[in-house]
Amino acid sequence: MPNTTITLRHFSLLLLALTTLAPMTANAQALYDGVLFSRGNKADAYPSHFQEGSLQRIYFCGTSSLSPAGKNIDGIFRISKSGSLLPVGGWSSSPTEVLNHSTIAWATHHVCDPTVVRGNFEYGGTTYQYALYFTADDGSTAVGVNGAIGLALSNDGLSWVALTSPIVLPANGFNGSYGAGAQGVAAVTYTYPPTWAMVYQDTSLGYKLYLRSSVDGISWPGSPLDSHITDTLPGASAPDIAYNAHDCKWYVSVNTFTATEGIVTILKANNPNDLDGPWSVIGSFGLASTGQVSNHNPGLARDAAGNLLVDASGFGYVFLSVGPAAAPGSPFPDWRKIDLAQGRFPAGTFGLCPR
């Protein structure tokens, strides 16, 4: 086995899985479409999607061009395609690396866990169209611990201006655990003007998923709140969120690990416009549906407004990371080979709903 380092994402998955194992079976309502992007023996994970007109874009975490031989340092890449999400093929075969630690003042190793959203973001006297949230560490201790959430801004989705310091730190300070990160960010489109919501991990507070809100998408003040996602699904991590404008409910995608497999699960809020639970499971993707032992690090499909992308058949889309296990009998991924895949889940009907 090559000498590989552990990224923030890897550390988080292992830590949370060892802390609490949550069994889950595949759900017949979830439809697996297949692998959409593979680079052979490379690890490409944590997809973040949005659609603009007929253009589809996915940002994901992969092995950076800065990685020395025999080691893995993460950077963020982009692929795109024109047309609909079905069939799954047609994505650009050569991803573009758009962000790594070389252009981020406070990050020294891994830059991973992207969430990309569209809006109006004012910073340094300039208005930007796109925001990219990521997780990184400052290299003050072992790689994979003491993480924080950073932000970069762009007007073309390719050239990014990173803020000079993290926007979210662990609430109780760095303590040698994972830290703050693995965030999902989405527009709260039922407010005017729209605001922003974040669900993320903060191991300084415990092994749950927490909520923050922001008026401008840049400053995230106040104390984090419990999302109560782990009340429904203990051990859930790697969250992404999106609001469904057709049923006025929030959706979240997460991963959990049993003793034998990694599973991506979709949950829906029970109440309209309510992001802090309670939640219900509506579908999952495990070995029975994908044919792979390790299914993890999902991201939901969003439209140009930032809402959950729902097709004419009433299905939402989720992108997931799939691959073999690190070792026989293990549920954890082999970080030398991870592909990006796509699935669908029922997401309500078209029409009006209570506000």
Residues 313-325, mean pLDDT to the nearest whole number: 95
Query: Could you tell me which of 127, 146, 108, 318 has the C-alpha nearest to residue 217?
Result: 127
Residue 114: the pLDDT is 97
Strand partners, 243: 250, 307
| C-beta neighbour count of 351 within 10 angstroms | 7
- Give the separation between CA 63 and CA 28, rounded to whole angstroms: 34
- Tell me the pLDDT tens digit for each residue of 204-248: 999 899 999 999 999 999 999 999 999 999 999 999 999 999 899
Q: Which domains does the chain have, with CATH numbers?
A: 8-346 (2.115.10.20)
Residues 44-49, mean pLDDT to the nearest whole number: 96
AA letter at 209:
L
- Tell me the pLDDT tens digit for each residue of 55-75: 999 999 998 888 777 677 899
Token pair for residue 196?
A: 């922003």
Token pair for residue 267?
A: 């949950």
- Tell me the pLDDT tens digit for each residue of 326-355: 999 999 999 889 999 999 999 976 665 655
* C-beta of residue 120 within 8 angstroms of C-beta of residue 129: yes
Residue 36 has pLDDT above 60, yes or no: yes
**Exposed / middle / buried, residue 198 (Cβ in 10 Å: 0-12, 13-18, 19+):** buried
Residue 2: the pLDDT is 33
- Tell me the pLDDT tens digit for each residue of 76-129: 999 999 999 999 999 999 999 999 999 999 988 789 999 999 999 999 999 999
- Give the separation between CA 212 and CA 184, rounded to whole angstroms: 10
